[in-house]
Amino acid sequence: MKYVVEMLNIRKEFPGVVANDDISLQLKSGEIHALLGENGAGKSTLMSILFGLYTPDRGTIKVRGKKVNITNPNIANELGIGMVHQHFKLVHNFTVTENIILGMEMKKGIVLDTKSAAIKVKELSERYGLNVDPYAKVEDISVGMQQRVEIMKMLYRNAEVLIFDEPTSVLTPQEIRELMGIMRNLIAEGKSIILITHKLKEIKAIADRCTVIRRGKLTGTVDVAFTSEERLAEMMVGRQVSFSVQKEERQPGEVVLDIRNLSVLSSRKVLGLKDVSLQVREGEVLGIAGVDGNGQTELVEAITGMRKAQSGRIFLRGTDITDMSVRERIKAKMAYIPADRHKHGLILDYSIENNMVMKVYYQQPFSSNGLLNSDAIRGYARRVMEQFDVRSGQGPGASARSLSGGNQQKTIVGREIDQNPEVLIAVQPTRGLDVGAIEYIHKRIVEQRDNGKAVLLVSLELDEILNLSDRIAVINGGEIIDIVDADKVTENEVGLMMAGVKRGETA
């Protein structure tokens, strides 16, 4: 079989790092080729080279057997290489068609000819089974649909090779399944696909071959059909990884966090959370499953005191904390791993040690009479770093910015768990982390549960919810659709509930 794209012996160096070291990737025509690697392994650098954003220091790129020099994205486009970005690049108050033709508008004289463009869009939509209304405004359509608009943009530009950058991270399980169907349609129509991902399950489900890179070096290219998930993970991380989280059987105890009829306004001043009641008990992980933007932020921020509750009460160990300040809640032993570690979790320009004491700096022994005690702070930071395996080249005095994503997250997890909290609120605790760090953080969260603490886990990763939770509350449109026992529910059922379908109803 012929190769459409060949990247041979690519090397790219940035000051101080070799991002790609002698990496080769060959894409057969009509295949789905997965590109697998941890964060920072060099996946995006490699794809940016193919897309013309970087020029390689060494190596050759061939498209359809011909050697090419891709110096900017326009050349990539002309060669029929298109990229579906992880964060969509769409104009929200434009229609689907307007977005698709943006940059290559058809004209009738000086007037924009959207009509014939819309017809072409409709044609494409039917041909690939994309089901997109050309006249819908982007702000009115679902995230999955927006992604299809992005795909359509590529098709409209006659792309033959499509690069998907982590395409499933924003989708529900059903939408993921639809996307896979679309990808198969594309292949059937003769396109070729490179799929950048770190989700092994998806690779197994859809990819033909898989190229794995680790720390800028090629680990190998394998046939997916003959390679197990465990083997893929091992190739990616460089050691064996366990997927299942070991959990002891545990009988949940008393109620720790009690949320009663909570309603919260969203940033747009409409009710983002409507009359929600939840209870989290000792020795239990309650998972909140849901698609992003369905009230999780409002729920978590109301519990942690970052946002006012519109109505309803929140109790922690029987004490009404609804009107308490953030600091009072922290003192009441509420720990919180926030979803955005750069915005909320860390002060990146502060040292690691200063970040470690972010919530306790004003207490003994870290300060007395308003004076910081730097020895105590450093000693404490050292201990937590050791305990939670935070690796910093320059010790606790280095800035938090200098840490890798995984170590930044471990810093936060360490800080929060070391408070010995009554309740731990963990939001997307492993977002963007590699398999090794995920495994570690999951272990520490389950450990909290095993020690009889209450854990509220909010995650967009359904696997994470299913693996860690004892009970699952599914949230949709600001309401709790249902609360179910984790071992009595299938992924499919949860997925349907995430889309707003209650159990017993037909989809």
Partner 1 sequence: MKKFLDKSFMTALVAVFLGLVAGAVLMVLIGSNPFSGYLYLFRGGLMTIERVGNTLATATPLILTGLSVAFAFRTGLFNIGAAGQMLIGGLCATAVGLTLVLPKPLLLTVMVAAAILGGAAWGLVPGLLKAKFNVHEVVATIMMNWISYWTVYYVVPAYYKGAYLETESRKIPDAASLKVEWLTDLFGGSYINLGLFLAIVSVIVIAFIIDRTTFGYELKAVGFNRHASEYAGIKANRSIIISMMIAGALAGLGGATFYVGYASNIQIGVLPTQGFDGIAVSLLGGNSPWGVFGAALFFGMLHSGKGFMNAMTRIPPEIADTIIATIIYFSATSILIERNWDKLKKRMGGAK
Q: Which residues contact 302 (CB under 8 A, 6 or more apart)?
A: 262, 264, 273, 308, 309, 314
Residue with tokens 């967009």: 460
Say if residues 326 and 278 touch (Cβ distance below 8 Å). Answer: no
The residue from 16, 103, 370, 504 that contacts partner 1 (CB under 8 A) is: 370
| DSSP-assigned beta bridge partners for residue 276 | 262
348 binds partner 1 (CB under 8 A): yes
Nearer to partner 1, 193 or 346 (CB): 346
Nearer to partner 1, 32 or 400 (CB): 400
CB of 345 to partner 1, least distance (A): 7
The residue from 53, 245, 372, 501 that contacts partner 1 (CB under 8 A) is: 372
The residue from 220, 362, 375, 451 that contacts partner 1 (CB under 8 A) is: 362
Q: Which residues contact 152 (CB under 8 A, 6 or more apart)?
A: 96, 100, 121, 124, 125, 130, 132
418 binds partner 1 (CB under 8 A): no
17 binds partner 1 (CB under 8 A): no
326 binds partner 1 (CB under 8 A): yes
In the chain, what is the straight-line distance between the N-terminal and C-terminal CA atoms, in Å? 42
Nearer to partner 1, 360 or 462 (CB): 360
Given the rule CB under 8 A, which of 4-12, 246-254, 257-265, 370-378 is the region that contacts partner 1?
370-378
123 binds partner 1 (CB under 8 A): no
CB of 412 to partner 1, least distance (A): 10
26 binds partner 1 (CB under 8 A): no
Given the rule CB under 8 A, which of 117-125, 243-251, 310-318, 365-373 is the region that contacts partner 1?
365-373
Given the rule CB under 8 A, which of 6-14, 247-255, 281-289, 362-370 is the region that contacts partner 1?
362-370
> To which H or E segment does residue 210 belong?
strand 209-214
What's CA 346's distance to the chain center, in Å? 18
347 binds partner 1 (CB under 8 A): yes
Three-state secondary structure string covering 388-444:
CCCCCCCHHHCEHHHCCHHHHHHHHHHHHHCCCCCEEEEECCCCCCCHHHHHHHHHH
Strands lying side by side in the sheet with 32-36: 66-68, 58-63, 3-14, 17-28, 217-223, 209-214, 32-36, 192-197, 161-165, 81-84
The residue from 330, 427, 458, 475 that contacts partner 1 (CB under 8 A) is: 330
Say if residues 403 and 413 touch (Cβ distance below 8 Å). Answer: no
CB atoms within 10 A of CB 412: 26
406 binds partner 1 (CB under 8 A): no
396 binds partner 1 (CB under 8 A): no
Question: What amino acid occupies position 37?
Answer: G
Site size for partner 1 (CB under 8 A): 26
268 binds partner 1 (CB under 8 A): no
Rounded to a whole number, what is the largest CA-CA distance in the chain?
76
As a residue count, the chain comes to: 507
449-478 residues in contact with partner 1 (CB under 8 A) are: none
Say if residues 197 and 41 touch (Cβ distance below 8 Å). Answer: no
194-253 residues in contact with partner 1 (CB under 8 A) are: none
The residue from 71, 261, 325, 387 that contacts partner 1 (CB under 8 A) is: 325
Beta strands in 398-500 (DSSP E): 423-427, 454-459, 471-476, 479-485
The residue from 327, 391, 443, 503 that contacts partner 1 (CB under 8 A) is: 327
296 binds partner 1 (CB under 8 A): no
Q: Report strand pairing: 271-281 vs 319-320.
A: unpaired
CB of 271 to partner 1, least distance (A): 23
The residue from 255, 358, 483, 501 that contacts partner 1 (CB under 8 A) is: 358
Question: What amino acid occupies position 295?
Answer: G
Site string for partner 1, 304-323 (x = CB under 8 A): x-x-----------------
Cα dihedral 439→445→446→448 (10° resolution): 150
- Residues interacting with partner 1, by CB under 8 A? 304, 306, 325-327, 329-330, 336, 338, 343-350, 354, 358-359, 361-362, 367, 370-372
